[in-house]
Amino acid sequence: MAAETKIFLSCVLFLILQETFGANYTQLLSYYQTTITDGAYSSKVFPRDTQTDIIDVDMVFYLSSIKEFDEVAGTLELIGILKITWTDQLIGDSYNSNLHGSISEILISSSHIWQPTVTIFNSVSSIKVVGDNSNKVRCNPNTGAMEWWPGIVLKTGCNVDASNFPFDKQECKVTFTNWGYRNSEVKFSITTTSINLDNYRDNEEWSIEDTILSTEDVNSINYATYTITLARRSLFFLANLVFPILILSLLNAIVFLLPPATGERISYSITAFMSFAVYLTLTSENLPRTSEPLSILCVYLMIMTCISAGTALFTITTLRVFHTEEEERVPDKLATIVAVLNCKVCKSEDDEDDDEMEIFAIKTPEPLDSKNAPLDMLDPGAGPDNEKAPLPDDDEAEEGDEENEEKEIVKGKYGVDWKLVSATLDFFFFLVFIAGNALITFFFLVPLAASM
C-alpha cells in the first residue's frame, strides 16, 4: 500500500512540474502548428493588433574585430553580431497555457515570422537586410518578446582625415535603418549608447578610443548611427618613417663639412635628395588621394625635398668658388666681408695701413752696370780687358717686377684667397641649413606630435 502511494504522489508531482516548467513535445508541436504553420499568423502581416501602432526595435551591436581599414580607399570593414529585440503581439495572442503547456522560450525559423528589415544604410558593397533564413529567432510566447542574433560582416565608407598622419584619429560611421518602413511604423528605440566591446579582439594598427550611438529622423525615415573613433598605433611609423626622416634632415646639411678636395660632395647631396623623394613616395602610398586636408608630414617632406635640392645647388656653387684660378683677384668687397667673418680685420686703421705698406712694398733691385755686375755675369770669352757680358734690358726687368707686384696684390688683401672664400661659404651655408631644418621640423612635427 505504501508503494502504491509513493507511485501516485510521484505522478502528481511530475504533472505539476510539467505544468510549471515546460511543455512536452506534443504541446510544443501543437502550438507551432496552430500558431505558425497552420494558424492565422502570417509573417507578411504587421505584427500588431492595431496596425497603426509603432513597433519599437531595440538593437545592440557586439563588435568582434576590425577586419580592415583602408585609408586610401576610405573603407572600414567590421565583423560583429547584432542583438535585435522587439515585441510580436500576434505571437503572444495565439498562446494558451492550458493547451500548450508552460512554454518559456521557443526557437522559430526567421522565414516563418515577421522581423524588422534592419539594413546597413552606408554600405559600400551592397544595401541588403542583415541575416538570412538560416537564422533562428528566440520567441517568448507568453509576452511575444522576440530576440534575433544575426551575424554581420559590414563594409562602410569612411571620410579619412590624414592631416595628422601618423598620429591621426579617424571617425567612421555605421548607419542602420529599417528599410521600407517609416518612423511612424518601425522605429529604433535603443537602450544602449555605445557598441558592446566585450568580445572585441584588438587590431594591430588601430585602437578604438570611443563609440557613440545616435538616432535621427530624416524624411520620415529613422536611422541609428554608431560613430567609432579610431586612433592609429603610431610606433611602427615612428620607427620606420619619422625617425629616419629626422636623421636624414640632419645629414643633409653635413654635406658642407666634407672637404671639397674629396670630390664626394655632389654625389652625397644627390643621394640625400633622392632619399627624401623615396620617403615622400612611401608616405603617399599610405594616404588617400586627396588634397584637402593634406597631410602635414607630406608638406614637411616636400619642403625638405626642396631644401635638399637647394643644398645640392649651393654645394655646386661653393665647389666652383673653391676651384677658381688662384691668379684671379678676389673682389675687394667680398674680401672685406670674408675677412670680417673670419676676424681678420681686428686692428686699427694705422696698423692696417702699415700692413698694406708692407704688402705692397717691393724691393727693386739696383740697376746693373759694368761696375757692379757680379762675376757670373762676365763673359768668359771676353778679351784681356775683362769686358763684361751685355746686361739684361731694363724694360724686361721692369715687366718682371710688375708681375711680382701683381701677384703680391692678389694675395695681399687681408690675406683672403678663393679657398678661404669657399670655406667661409661652406660654414655659412652649414649654419643656415641646420637652423632652417630645425625651425621647419619644430614648426611641423611638434604640433603633429602634440596631437597624439
Summarised one tens digit per residue, pLDDT across range 49-82 is: 787 889 999 999 999 999 999 888 889 999 999 9
Q: Which residue has the higher pLDDT, 371 or 145?
A: 145
- Backbone φ and ψ for 58, nearest 5 degrees, come out as -100, 145
For the segment 396-406, the average pLDDT, to the nearest whole number, is 50
On the question of pLDDT at 157 being above 70, the answer is yes
The reported pLDDT for the residue numbered 393 is 53
Beta bridge partners of 59: 84
As a whole number, the mean pLDDT across the chain is 78
On the question of pLDDT at 175 being above 90, the answer is yes
The reported pLDDT for the residue numbered 408 is 46
CB atoms near residue 267 (< 10 Å): 10
> How far is CA 56 from its chain centroid?
43
On the question of pLDDT at 11 being above 60, the answer is no
> CA dist 264 to 261, 316, 414, Å?
8, 11, 31
On the question of pLDDT at 34 being above 90, the answer is no
On the question of pLDDT at 264 being above 90, the answer is no
The domain segmentation of the chain, as residue ranges, is 39-233, 236-324+436-450
Q: Which residue has the higher pLDDT, 414 or 234?
A: 234
- Backbone φ and ψ for 353, nearest 5 degrees, come out as -65, -40
Rounded to two decimals, what is the model's pTM? 0.70
The reported pLDDT for the residue numbered 225 is 96
Nearest to 85, CA basis, from 137, 132, 131, 147:
147
On the question of pLDDT at 213 being above 60, the answer is yes
The contacts of residue 51 (CB under 8 Å, 6+ apart) are none
- Backbone φ and ψ for 110, nearest 5 degrees, come out as -65, -20
On the question of pLDDT at 407 being above 50, the answer is no
| Cα radius of gyration rounded to whole Å, the chain | 47
Summarised one tens digit per residue, pLDDT across range 78-135 is: 999 999 999 988 876 666 666 666 677 888 888 888 899 999 999 998 888 998 877 8
- Backbone φ and ψ for 404, nearest 5 degrees, come out as -60, -40
**Residue 21 identity:** F
The reported pLDDT for the residue numbered 95 is 64
Distance CA 282, CA 403 (A): 61
The reported pLDDT for the residue numbered 20 is 35
> CA dist 273 to 252, 379, 439, Å?
8, 70, 19
CB atoms near residue 232 (< 10 Å): 21
Summarised one tens digit per residue, pLDDT across range 287-313 is: 777 666 788 888 888 898 899 999 999
Beta bridge partners of 57: 188
**Residue 7: pLDDT band by 50, 70, 90 thresholds?**
very low
Kindly report the CATH class assigned to 236-324+436-450.
mainly alpha
* Residue percentage of the chain with pLDDT more than 90: 28
On the question of pLDDT at 279 being above 90, the answer is no
Q: Which residue has the higher pLDDT, 451 or 53?
A: 53
The reported pLDDT for the residue numbered 376 is 47
On the question of pLDDT at 379 being above 70, the answer is no
The reported pLDDT for the residue numbered 59 is 95
- How many CA within 13 A on the CB side of residue 272? 28
The reported pLDDT for the residue numbered 416 is 78
Annotate 233-253 with DSSP letters as a single string.
--HHHIIIIIHHHHHHHHHHH
Fold of 39-233: Acetylcholine Binding Protein; Chain: A, (2.70.170)
Out of 98-102, 146-150, 341-345, 372-376, which region has the weakest mean confidence (pLDDT)? 372-376
The reported pLDDT for the residue numbered 82 is 95
Distance CA 198, CA 424 (A): 67
The reported pLDDT for the residue numbered 285 is 80
Alpha helices of 56-129 — where are they, by DSSP H? Answer: 89-93, 97-100
For the segment 376-390, the average pLDDT, to the nearest whole number, is 48
On the question of pLDDT at 370 being above 80, the answer is no
Beta bridge partners of 79: 65, 153
Beta bridge partners of 308: none
The contacts of residue 204 (CB under 8 Å, 6+ apart) are 233
Annotate 15-51 with DSSP letters as a single string.
HHHHHHH---HHHHHHHHIIIIISSS--TTS-S-SST
Out of 96-100, 142-146, 269-273, 352-356, which region has the weakest mean confidence (pLDDT)? 352-356
CB atoms near residue 57 (< 10 Å): 24
On the question of pLDDT at 399 being above 90, the answer is no
For the segment 172-193, the average pLDDT, to the nearest whole number, is 93
* Residue percentage of the chain with pLDDT more than 70: 73
> CA dist 429 to 267, 342, 452, Å?
18, 15, 34
Cα angle 181-187-192, degrees, rounded to a multiple of 5: 145
CB atoms near residue 163 (< 10 Å): 17
* C-alpha cell of residue 298: 607630406
**Residue 187: pLDDT band by 50, 70, 90 thresholds?**
very high
On the question of pLDDT at 17 being above 60, the answer is no
For the segment 12-28, the average pLDDT, to the nearest whole number, is 49
Q: Give the helix/strand (H/E) hosting 133.
A: none
Nearest to 85, CA basis, from 5, 192, 157:
192
Answer whether the bond into residue 141 is a cis peptide, omega within 30°.
Answer: no
